[in-house]
Amino acid sequence: MRLRTHDVTLIGERVTLRPLTEGDWDLLLAWNGDRELLYFLEGDDDVAYDLAQVQQIYRGVSMHAFCFVASVGRIPIGECWMQEMNLARISRGYPRMDCRRIDLMIGERGHRRRDLGTEMIRLLTSFAFERTRADTVFGCDIADFNIASLRAFQKAGFAATAKIEQPPGRKARFCWDLMIERNRG
Ligand SMILES: CC(C)(COP(=O)(O)OP(=O)(O)OC[C@H]1O[C@@H](n2cnc3c(N)ncnc32)[C@H](O)[C@@H]1OP(=O)(O)O)[C@@H](O)C(=O)NCCC(=O)NCCS
């Protein structure tokens, strides 16, 4: 299986999102090997992935998602995607609605906390509403300790729809789902 790619490029004030390609494995491997980042992304083991695992993850996701590399100028800083909702607990609550989700990471540490994540979320959300049939877009399963992610989604106009208690012993006590709806005005 190879990555399913696309021809969408999204240009923001500072961030550009271009299609993820089979030429990006070095970047993805480096970012997915950063333990500080894995702490926020992963459930409870924070194990760094090898190339085969990274390829399997992104190739799998790409079957249902528009996957992007985010750059500032010529510097790749992270990745993100927008895809159909894949969590039944959310889809069930919004029958007859086209629900999507977005996921993102800024792999380059020096580029975090500079409002770039918020811009990535805004770009993906506009893309979902303006160029696909999305009715709602979600950020899903965001750990209570991941303040940067929660704040970035909120700054982009998302509001919490669910606070999900985690089983004892997990890093997070709660995870949040946040959502934004298409503006029908
Ligand atoms: C989550 C992520 C994409 C957000 O992007 P970002 O560019 O760092 O976020 P922004 O700068 O746009 O916004 C972060 C906000 O959180 C705030 N923040 C971050 N850490 C904080 C903390 N510990 N306490 C209080 N506020 C905090 C920042 O001050 C900023 O808010 P402000 O603009 O009101 O000051 C990025 O941090 C990242 O890649 N993290 C690791 C991977 C990850 O967690 N991905 C999401 C999984 S759900």
Quote the longest CA-to-CA distance of the chain.
47
- Which pLDDT does position 147 carry in this prediction? 97
In this structure, the residue with its CA closest to atom 23 of ligand 1 is: 147
- Which pLDDT does position 164 carry in this prediction? 96
Report CA(115)–ligand 1 centroid distance (Å).
Answer: 8
Which is higher by pLDDT, 154 or 184? 154
Rounded to an integer, the average pLDDT of 94-122 is 97
**Closest ligand 1 atom to Cα of 139:** 48
Inform me whether the pLDDT recorded for 80 exceeds 90: yes
In this structure, the residue with its CA closest to atom 42 of ligand 1 is: 105
Report CA(155)–ligand 1 centroid distance (Å).
Answer: 10
Report the chain's mean pLDDT, rounded to a whole number.
Answer: 95
- Which pLDDT does position 185 carry in this prediction? 62
10-184 has which fold?
Aminopeptidase (3.40.630)
> What ranges do the domains of the chain cover?
10-184
- 25 CB within 6 A, ligand 1: no
- Which pLDDT does position 36 carry in this prediction? 85
**Closest ligand 1 atom to Cα of 106:** 39
- Which pLDDT does position 111 carry in this prediction? 97
Instruction: State if pTM tops 0.85.
Output: yes
In this structure, the residue with its CA closest to atom 48 of ligand 1 is: 142
Inform me whether the pLDDT recorded for 49 exceeds 90: no
- Which pLDDT does position 43 carry in this prediction? 66
For residue 156, how far is the Cα from the chain centroid? 13
In this structure, the residue with its CA closest to atom 19 of ligand 1 is: 148
Inform me whether the pLDDT recorded for 183 exceeds 80: yes
Rounded to an integer, the average pLDDT of 147-170 is 96
- Which pLDDT does position 44 carry in this prediction? 64
In this structure, the residue with its CA closest to atom 5 of ligand 1 is: 117
Distance, in Å, from the CA atom of 110 to the CA atom of 106, rounded to the nearest integer, reads 9
**Closest ligand 1 atom to Cα of 116:** 7
Distance, in Å, from the CA atom of 98 to the CA atom of 84, rounded to the nearest integer, reads 8
